[in-house]
Amino acid sequence: MQFMTLDRETPETGFIVAYNNEGSALIPGTVCEFDLTTTTAEQGYYVEKVDVAVNSTTGIAAPVAGVVETTIAASDVGRLQVYGPATVRVNTTITAGRLAVATSANVAPTGVATADVLTTTTTACYAQAALGISIESVSATQSVVQLQLM
């Protein structure tokens, strides 16, 4: 894990190293999940775009890994941001102050955030899809989220 040097002008950010196992490039702002694999060396290292729509009961299909910082070519290694303010791709505007949740819903390519839902069926699995709180709604396709994925 890498943390950026603390200074008085720049917010703290944290990153992990990840291997792009998607089969195509991962672009900045894409929300990634860890690949579920039985190969020990790949666990917690191989990632792909979130490719299942979030469900209020079951969450998503795999653990959230982070948000792509700069383009990661297919079968290459790059950094995913896991902490601090990050510009994240969204499927619709997320109002500042709302929880951003990983999903694949309503956008191509997948791997975006959406605003949280509150229902009587929301479970701990759903909470595991959470990225952090939206701190700025940039547009209908991007939001700045204070990531809390550590």
Residue 131 belongs to domain spanning: 2-148
Phi-psi region of 23 (alpha: psi -120 to 50; beta: other; left: phi over 0): left
pTM for the whole structure: 0.92
Residue 1 makes CB contacts below 8 A (sequence gap 6+) with 14, 15, 16, 82, 150
CATH assignment at residue 91: 2.40.300
Q: How far is CA 98 from CA 13, 64, 127, 132, 134, in A?
A: 20, 18, 13, 9, 6
Number of domains in the chain: 1
Q: In this predicted model, what pLDDT tens digit does every residue of 73-87 receive, in sequence order? A: 999 999 999 999 999
What is the per-residue pLDDT for 109? Answer: 64
Give me the sign of the Cα torsion angle 1, 135, 48, 40: positive
Q: In this predicted model, what pLDDT tens digit does every residue of 20-49 receive, in sequence order? A: 999 999 999 999 999 999 999 999 999 999
Q: Which two tokens stand for residue 4?
A: 């950026």
d(C-alpha 101, C-alpha 67), whole Å = 12
**Percent of the chain clearing pLDDT 70 (strictly above):** 97
